[in-house]
Amino acid sequence: MRKVLRAAIVVCVLAVPMFAHHGTNISYDRSKAMTVKGVVTEFHYANPHPQLYVDVKDDQGKVTNWGCEIAANVYQLSLAGWSRQRSTTELKAGTPAALLIKVVNDKGQELLNAGAE
């Protein structure tokens, strides 16, 4: 009985971190997706989700810096061929880019589509 109890405690302790993940669908309302175009100011290739920062100009010419959490995590990006080096060359400061879930460069090439569920 003690072995079973110890095993159950070990399983519970190991499973607790799985419940800590926020889940993108919980944090953001995907039914209210919007498109923004801007110029990349920063890109942070880090866990749990990379961050893309873009300067977005409104109709009056006012610039606002947007922070966008990429729906995919670093591991998922690596499976799609991304790396820290690629992110710094493809999304360097000054590069026109960005949609909140999809990243498109200034040539219209889709660099990332993390919108698939």
Model confidence pLDDT, tens digit, residues 37-64: 888 888 888 888 888 888 989 899 999 9
> Residue 69 — very low, low, confident or very high, per pLDDT cuts 50/70/90?
confident
Give CA angle at 49 (117, 106), nearest 5°: 80
pLDDT at 17 over 70: no
73-100 pLDDT tens trace: 888 888 888 888 877 777 777 776 544 4
Residue found by looking up tokens 């690596």 in the block: 78
Percent of the chain with pLDDT over 90: 5
The CATH number of the structural domain formed by 27-113 is 2.40.50
Residue 97, pLDDT score: 53
Domains of the chain, residue spans: 27-113
Which pTM was predicted?
A: 0.62
**What is the average pLDDT across 12-26?**
53
- Distances in Å between the Cα of 48 and the Cα atoms of 21, 72, 108 are 9, 9, 27
**What is the average pLDDT across 106-115?**
78
DSSP annotation string for 42-53: EEE--SS--EEE
Q: How far is CA 13 from the centre of its chain?
A: 28
Residue 98, pLDDT score: 41
Residue 62, pLDDT score: 95
